[in-house]
Amino acid sequence: MDTVLSGIRSTGNLHLGNYFGAVKNFVRMQHENRCFFFVADYHSLTTHPKPENLQNNIRTVLSEYLAAGLDPEVATLYVQSDVPEIPELYLLLNMNAYVGELERTTTFKEKIRKQPENINAGLLTYPVLMCADIIIHNADKVPVGKDQEQNLEMARKFARRFNHMYGVEYFTMPEPYNFGQELIKVPGLDGTGKMGKSEGNGIYLADEPKVIRKKVMRAVTDEGPKVPNSPMTEPVANLFYLLELLSTPDVVEHFRAQYNGCTIRYGDLKKQLAEDMISFTSPIRDRILEIYNDDEYLRKVVRMGAEKARESASKTVRDVREILGYRSF
């Protein structure tokens, strides 16, 4: 049985990228494996959320996980900050992570470019915290999107280094995972790049139908193919990518044939895409609203999750302390 683990930062609502990149895969694996799924609320501190928003952000992400199909009775579903063993392991791992390698990570370099006014040490050591998240339960498989590939590579590097430095075979090497295929990058509606929380180009699981229609109808396209079987420009290829995720194969085939025959009207494709997105998100959205307001249920879920997560995490931290040489008098 594999140990499967994944997490999502509590910085906003879940979008289709989070769903198809991570949550869907996790949901499909939860019954056959030892599974951990958590709300990465320490990671969200790098962007300095207002204290009055922090708790709501956690509640939002938690409700959306549950609404998307995570079963807290079978998987261990917890909030990162409820497990103090994680920051302890993070501290210990930080001693063997080198500033040079952290500075070279793509995500860190991107942050420097995007938010030069807030390059905090938490951003630099983000991959170390992520490594602690993962190896604290000795996870083998980590369902994530393509954007997390480098963070996973760093996690393996730190785990391998620990084993090597102390001459042990303690930590497993965690692999990024997608159920039966390559890691994916769900595109946004702005023509280029991935769907993201900070990019403002996403469809959220909690979006109302009219919002989805509006966003999709505004999606970037091009002037249309001029000759049969032309290669697609990025914005159009992205719309087809989304169509493949959300529509039936015959719908995709229908629009592909129209594209190849130069008869396509992007407006029709967008209408269809919006309706298929709505059919997909509507039942999830209804559940989100129900769960979000159910204090008692949420309290029960996090209490149960924290207990199970701490049981596994405290064993790891005890072992690591022992390996490092912390012994009782």
Residues that bind ligand TYM in the complex, under the rule CB under 6 A: 5-9, 17-18, 21-22, 40, 43, 130, 133-134, 142, 144-145, 147-148, 151, 184-186, 194-196
Q: What are the Cα distances from residue 57, in Å, to 46, 49, 79, 103, 176?
A: 14, 9, 11, 29, 26
Q: Please give the Cα distance from 54 to 91 (Å, whole number).
A: 23
Measured from the CB of residue 268, what is the shortest distance to ligand TYM in angstroms? Answer: 25
Give 7 or 235: the residue with its C-beta nearer to ligand TYM: 7
Least Å distance, CB 297 to ligand TYM, is: 23
Token pair listed for 63: 């409700």
Q: Closest CB to ligand TYM among 159 and 186?
A: 186
Handedness of CA 76, 80, 82, 86 (dihedral sign): positive
Report the catalytic residues.
111, 194, 197
Strand order in the sheet with 76-79: 76-79, 34-40, 3-9, 141-143, 175-177
Residue 307: alpha-carbon gap to chain centroid? 23
Pick from 258, 286, 293: nearest CA to 272: 258
Q: How far is it, in rounded angstroms, from Cα 284 to Cα 65? A: 10
Handedness of CA 58, 60, 65, 71 (dihedral sign): positive
**Given the complex with ligand TYM, which of 184 and 317 has the nearer CB atom?**
184
Please, which residue, 21 or 72, has the CB nearer to ligand TYM?
Answer: 21
Cβ nearer to ligand TYM, comparing 5 with 264: 5
CA distance 85 to 57: 22
Report how far Cα 157 is from the mean position of its chain's Cα atoms. Answer: 21
Residue number, 9 or 285, with CB nearest to ligand TYM: 9
Amino acid at 42: Y
> What is the C-alpha to C-alpha distance for residues 304 and 78, in angstroms, rounded to an integer?
8
Query: In this structure, what token pair is assigned to residue 297?
Result: 């249920």
One DSSP character per residue, 128-139 reads HHHHHHHHTTT-
Distance CA 140, CA 228 (A): 46
